[in-house]
Amino acid sequence: MILVIGATAHFGRQTVEALAGAGRPVRALSRTPERAGLPAGVEVVRGDLTRPETLGPALDGVTEVFLVLPFGTDARPLVERVRRAGVRQIVFLSSGAVADGADPQPDVIAAYHAGVEEEIRATGVAWTFLRLFFPAINSLTWAMQLQGGDTVRGPHAAAAASVVHERDVAEVAAAVLGGAEHFGRVYEPTGPHSLTQTEQVEVLGRALGRGLGFEEVPDPIVREQLGRFMDAGFAGALLDLMAATAGRPAPVNDTVEKLTGRPARPYAQWVADHLADFR
C-alpha cells in the first residue's frame, strides 16, 4: 500500500490519480475525507500531518509514502512516525534550490527542503527525492490578472525555467515508488524546453486567441507587495531564484522520459490542459 501525504494538493492529487489509474493500491491522507474528491476506489483516511499522532490508521500496512509538505511544516515528528510504522521507502517532493554539500544553504527555501531531506535520511528508511524548480502550475497565478486585461505584470520577464507539467511529476513519482533501484537517488524532472516568463505568456496568449504581453514590475516593488501576505524570507528567496535565471537558459533533462517511458509534456500541453482556468 502507498500512502500519499498532501493528497489534495496539486502534486499529491495528481500522484494519487496516476497510481490509481495504474491499478496500484493507494491511500490518501486528508483532514476532510468527505471533501477530498479523489477517484473512486482510492482509500481516503482522515489524518492531519501537523498532528502525527493521528496518522496511525493511515500508516497501517503502508510500504511506501509519497510526501508533499507545505513550506515550513515541521517534518521531524511526521517522518519519525513513518519510520516507526515500518515503511520501506519515502519519496519526498523537494526543491531544486537545494545545493548538495552547501552549509549554509543558499536561501530559506533550499534550507527548509535540505533540512527535511536530512531528517528523512536520518530515519534509516530508504528515500528518493524529487527536486523541482518552477513547475508550470505556477502560471495559474496569472489567471486573475488576465480577467481584467491582456497584460501579465510581474518581476523578471527574462527569468527562464524548464517548466514541468504536474502530471509528469506525478508519473515520475508513481514510477519511483516501490522501486528499489530508485532508493538513495535524487531526480530533478524538467519540462522539454527552457522558456522565459515572456515566452510562457506568449504561448498562453496563442492558446487563448489573445494578444497577451508581459510587463515587468521592478523587483523591490514586488518584494514589498509579497511581504504583505507571505513570509518575507520565502518571497525574497523566490525572487532571488528568478533573478538568477534571467538571461540564461534553464537546464533541460530527459528524466521524465527515462523514468516514465515517454517525453515530458511541453508547456503548450499544460496550457491546453488548463485553458478553463484562464477563461
| Within-domain flag for 58 | yes
Question: What per-residue confidence (pLDDT) applies to 203?
Answer: 96
What is the maximal distance between C-alpha atoms in the chain? 55
Cα separation, 203 vs 200, in Å, equals 5
The parent domain of residue 246 ranges over 134-165+191-250+266-279
pLDDT band at 177 (very low <50, low <70, confident <90, very high): very high
Q: Are residues 18 and 67 in the same domain?
A: yes
Cell numbers placing 139? 502560471
Cell numbers placing 144? 486573475
Q: Are residues 120 and 24 in the same domain?
A: yes
Number of compact structural domains in the chain: 2
Question: How large is the average pLDDT for residues 247-251?
Answer: 91
Question: What per-residue confidence (pLDDT) applies to 157?
Answer: 93
Question: Is the predicted pLDDT of residue 137 greater than 90, yes or no?
Answer: yes
- What residues contact 254, with CB distance under 8 A and at least 6 apart? 263, 264
Question: What per-residue confidence (pLDDT) applies to 227?
Answer: 74
pLDDT band at 27 (very low <50, low <70, confident <90, very high): very high
Q: Are residues 107 and 143 in the same domain?
A: no
Question: What per-residue confidence (pLDDT) applies to 275?
Answer: 93
For residue 90, count CB atoms less than 10 angstroms from its CB and return exposed for 0-12, middle for 13-18, buried for 19 or more: buried
Q: Are residues 31 and 66 in the same domain?
A: yes
Cell numbers placing 163? 517548466
Cα separation, 242 vs 160, in Å, equals 8
Question: What per-residue confidence (pLDDT) applies to 225?
Answer: 82
Q: Are residues 60 and 116 in the same domain?
A: yes
Question: How large is the average pLDDT for residues 175-203?
Answer: 96
State the CATH number of the domain containing residue 62: 3.40.50.720
Q: Are residues 277 and 141 in the same domain?
A: yes
Q: Are residues 16 and 55 in the same domain?
A: yes
136: nearest Cα among 81, 77, 86, 201: 201
pLDDT band at 127 (very low <50, low <70, confident <90, very high): very high
Instruction: Identify the DSSP state of 53.
Output: G
Cα separation, 205 vs 150, in Å, equals 8
Q: Are residues 22 and 47 in the same domain?
A: yes
Q: Are residues 74 and 111 in the same domain?
A: yes
- Give the pLDDT confidence of 145-172 residue by residue, as tens digits: 998 899 999 999 999 999 999 999 999 9
How many other C-beta atoms are found inside a 10 Å radius of the C-beta of residue 199? 16
| Within-domain flag for 261 | no
Question: What residues form DSSP beta bridges with 44?
Answer: 28
